[in-house]
Amino acid sequence: MAHLPVLLNEVLATLKPTAGETVLDGTVGSGGHALAIGKQLGSTGLLIGLDQDAEAILKATETLKSLSCQVRLIKSNFRHLAKIIAEQKLLPLDGLLLDLGIHSDQLASSGRGFSFQRDEPLDMRMGAEAVVTAAEVVNDWSEASLTDILLGFGEERHAKAIAKAIVTGRKYRPFETTFDLIEVIKQAVPEGYTKRRLHFATKTFQAIRMAVNEELQALDEVMPQALTALASGGRLAIITFHSGEARIIKRHFRGWRAEGLGEVGKKALKPTRAEVLTNPRSRSATLRHFVKN
């Protein structure tokens, strides 16, 4: 399944990319949002795309090759935004986008265990920067730490039972693949939980992925860098899929507004029903935006 950029019309409406501007997509993925943005920048504009996944950079290169604007694709985590701005000698940004969702290509064909639908090694690292694998998390972390991430990152109601089952299971043999983990989760949760529309392993996999890649820490780190990087009148748009992400963004936005540094978008934007029907993965997406004074 091809990756469909989430909330694309809303992204364009809030970022308002215009010919000659400089816009940075901090999570370029396979290039869906970036392609639409780049078409608005014209031959005098500059589009920068970041992604920590080398495979994503290759795919984005192919997707964006038809654009007339200048394109620079850089393999890096957006938490290093200030360093990248300096190294690339970039002018202040007119627009900055962060789509915090995992893109479909990573789920479908990475071979790194992001999906519970295929039996793959428990890796879940989005880039080489991540030093801990998912296998190390489930095989080495304490029961208390596992419970904490399942509750905090996954909002998993059966966190304690799943963590306990993982710790018990690894005494007999280490977890190596996604199916090893799924089987233990299935045994740990009530039978009715396995028959819901949302797969019973979804929240556990999300929690482990977020822990491996330090996703909330990276978001918290990039927020002040993003504010500094924006030009006067610059627009910041962030798509979230998780309440923890939303809390971090709202905290920074409130602080910026209180200091008179800019205006927060009047309301968070959600996908239309038509988009959800076309792309069910967009269901939990929310777009928040900020305009710097």
pLDDT tens digit sequence for 24-78:
999 999 999 999 999 999 999 999 999 999 989 999 999 999 999 999 999 999 9
The answer to whether 292 and 261 are in contact (CB under 8 A) is: yes
Q: What is the pLDDT of residue 106?
A: 57
Task: Judge whether 25 is annotated as a binding position.
Answer: no
Which CATH architecture best describes the domain 8-105+215-292? 3-Layer(aba) Sandwich (3.40)
Structure-token match 């694309």, residue found: 8
Task: Judge whether 105 is annotated as a binding position.
Answer: no
Q: What is the pLDDT of residue 38?
A: 98
Confidence of residue 104 (pLDDT cuts 50, 70, 90): low
Q: What is the pLDDT of residue 107?
A: 61
Confidence of residue 293 (pLDDT cuts 50, 70, 90): very high
Is residue 110 scored above 70 in pLDDT?
Answer: no
Cβ count within 10 A of residue 37: 28
Topology (CATH) of 131-212 = DNA polymerase; domain 1 (1.10.150)
Task: Judge whether 78 is annotated as a binding position.
Answer: yes
Q: Look at residues 283, 290, 276, 197 and name the one whose alpha carbon lies nearest to residue 240.
A: 283
Domains of the chain, residue spans: 8-105+215-292, 131-212
Is residue 184 scored above 60 in pLDDT?
Answer: yes
- Indicate the residue type of 240: T
Q: What is the pLDDT of residue 229?
A: 98
Q: What is the pLDDT of residue 1?
A: 43
Helix axes 202-212, 178-188, angle to 10 degrees: 130
Is residue 130 scored above 70 in pLDDT?
Answer: yes
Helix axes 54-63, 32-41, angle to 10 degrees: 40
Judged by average pLDDT, the poorest of 103-117, 183-197, 205-219 is 103-117
Q: What is the pLDDT of residue 4?
A: 83
The pLDDT of 129-138, averaged and rounded, is: 93
Task: Judge whether 101 is annotated as a binding position.
Answer: no
The burial class, CB within 10 Å (0-12 / 13-18 / 19+), for 31 is buried
Task: Judge whether 106 is annotated as a binding position.
Answer: yes
